[in-house]
A and B are shown apart, each in its own frame.
Chain A
Amino acid sequence: METADLSHHISRRFNEDLERVRTKVLAMGGFVEAQLAKAITSLIEGDSSLGESVAIDDLKVNGMEVSIDEECSRILATRAPAAGDLRVIVAIIKTITDLERIGDEGEKIGLIASRLATMERPENKYREIKHLGRLVSEMVHDSLDAFARMDAEGALKVARRDRLVDEEYEAIHRQCITFMMEDPRTIRRALDVMWVVRSLERIGDHAKNICEYVIYMVYGKDVRHTNLEDVERELQQAKP
């Protein structure tokens, strides 16, 4: 089984190109992570200006996606990579799409946060959102770590955590419905909270996607839409 090894290339320039674009992806990832953290903080601390700044800074994420996309096309056109290198480029093109979407969801959370900041805050100070936000942020962080390390096993572990996020999402969902039934005046706020939670859940899915691209990049195996247990078994066999 051939694994993607970036260190041995006939052309050193090509190697540098690949490494540079990978670094750019991770810089974009870092920026998106910071955006997400700010969005969650703005919601929990009721900081409307921070929420707005997240929404404005999303433009930068979009700019980064376009710039990395262009660079990937250039590498495809000029170097015609094959095998492991081709997989790296393909994985990068897919990863930045997901990162950009994470940025978009962060923007949504930021906007809702700046609106919620003007409303009455619930007694628990959005504790459950804080918890879910932490789960999701850690997933994004660890999926990017797996990407940086080309660590398929780590990626698989992160992908499995998506189930926790789904469970938490389900729980908050139910809690919001209860609130709305108890007191119709909270419906507006509860709906906004639902949007935030929905966005967080989507971010978890995007992080899982990134993990799947990492597995694809390392083992050349497309594991989308498959059962994670099957994937694990196959990886055990495929281990070099």
Chain B
Amino acid sequence: MDDGLRAWGFALARLATLVVVGAIVGLSFGHAVTGLALVLAGALAWNYFNLFRLDYWLRDRSTRDAPDSGGVWGDVITQVVRLHRRKRFHKQRLLDVFRELRHSTAAMPDGVVVLNVQSEIVWFNRMAGRLLNLKRRADLGIRITNLVREPDFVRYLQKGDFSDTLQLRRSTDELYLSFQVVPYGGNQRLMLVRDVTRQVALESMRKDFVANASHELRSPLTVITGYLETLDQDEDIEESLRGPLSEMRRQAERMNAIVHDLLELSRLDAKQDEVVGDPIDVGAMMSILRKDVLARPRHPSITLKVDSPGGILGEESEIQSAFSNLVDNAAKYTPPEGRVEVRWWVDDGGEGHFAVSDTGYGISAEHLPRLTERFYRVDSGRSRDTGGSGLGLAIVKHALQHHGASLQIESREGVGSSFTCHFPARRVFVGGRGGNIAVTRATDTGLN
């Protein structure tokens, strides 16, 4: 700042000198006031000239160099130039960051579409444009459902429940797309679109493989079990071979059970939609399941409780295999002195619940989330003893999914477990069997 002050001092001193000189020269001619006026006018003109140059440069500063001037004016111009440079630098850096951000979103491998509250397109990136056939600029402000018209998609957006992703196959190009909507910032919605054609193909290959493999294993197994049965009944067989033979037979039966479960599971897998189904009398099914348990050589005591008459609308074979898996498990993992209780009730909201609780060994908490995975075993030694395939609960889960139902598991080690199936109200009927119940597919067509 010292330099600046010195420049000001110098400028003032120069002005004072000029005034004095002007006054003296004017006095020598006898017109002191005129001399003074001339000098001041000169100084004013010089300042105006500098001001004009500064203004001229500021108006068009991009193409011209800053004016060259000394004294106070020089200082002012230098400061303006410095300010201007700093501003330009920050602006450029901000622009760079912004451009970088836009480029990286645009180059994202997933499609991104920003929607407003009316589902109108606010912005979308390149990938979304390619996957959904959107046109740059022209399509902004158009409702997304007007351009992506697949009925499933329209229904998904209308429903407003975005906890699940939506997967659909575009009829025009046979791509499988997966949609996920994330609400943010009040009413805005971010929609992610991904091309999952490859994953779908892999998934279906995997399913086909499991189904084919288990199917192919079936016939050799039948032959093996057949021979083993004959050998087992053969009187002439050496006594030392009896043990190994019956063990072979047991293992072959176990393999049979696994193949059976695998086939059952791949059959359930193949069906995507919810089943329509017929009325099923849960009470009657429960007494059959009870008989199965009582037929076991060692079994816990079992009690049935049917609180509400009526039952479930669904596919009988699937419900049967789900329930029998649950009851079987309870019977298997409960010692003979324990108790198993099977209960069916309909709550006030019309939802149906099927619960199997036991006083068995129980399952520790860390296993619970993974219990319905295929081949997941809590204790491999124990379940091999009891001859499980490791697929039972996976079957239960899939069968329930087909009926829009969910499975709830509660368990404490050493105390017992309870498995509860919750059926939505539309799947439940109360009262006698059959009657005037008609199940139709949801008639939601995407209008309104």
**B-contacting residues of A (Cβ < 8 Å)?**
7, 19, 22-24, 26-31, 33-34, 36-37, 60, 63-64, 67, 137-138, 141, 144-145, 148-149, 151
Contact = CB atoms under 8 A, between A and B. Distances in A.
Nearest to A150: B142
A37 B139 CA distance: 25
Nearest to A26: B146
8 contacts: A23-B146, A24-B447, A27-B154, A30-B149, A30-B151, A67-B447, A141-B171, A149-B139
Interface string B418-448: 0000000000000000000000000101110
Contacts of A144: 149
B172 interface: yes
Interface size grouping (class) on chain B: 20 to 34
B146 A22 contact: yes
User: Which of A7, A27, A67 is the most central at the interface, judged by chain B CB atoms within 10 Å of its CB?
Assistant: A27
Contacts of B146: 22-23, 26, 148
A36 B133 CA distance: 20
Interface in B121-163: 133, 135, 138-139, 141-143, 145-147, 149-151, 154
A37 B171 contact: yes
Contacts, number: 60
Given A23-B143, A26-B146, A63-B445, A138 B138 contact: no
Contacts of A7: 141
Interface of B: 133, 135, 138-139, 141-143, 145-147, 149-151, 154, 171-172, 443, 445-447
B171 A27 contact: no
Given A138-B172, A148-B142, A149-B138, A34 B150 contact: yes
User: Which of B135, B139, B147, B171 is the most central at the interface, judged by chain A CB atoms within 10 Å of its CB?
Assistant: B171
A34 B133 CA distance: 17
A64 B445 contact: yes
Nearest to A31: B151
Contacts of B143: 19, 23
A145 B149 CA distance: 9
Given A26-B146, A27-B447, A149-B139, 4 more contacts: A23-B146, A27-B446, A30-B154, A60-B445
B147 A145 contact: yes
B131 to A, nearest CB: 15
Contact of B171 (A29, A34, A64): A34
A92 to B, nearest CB: 13
Contacts of A33: 149-150, 171
Contacts of A37: 171
B133 A145 contact: yes
Pairs of residues from A and B, 5 with the lowest C-beta to C-beta distance, nearest first = A30-B149, A37-B171, A148-B146, A26-B146, A60-B445
A23 B147 CA distance: 10
Contacts of B147: 145, 148-149
Nearest to A16: B118
Given A145-B133, A148-B142, A149-B135, A137 B172 contact: yes
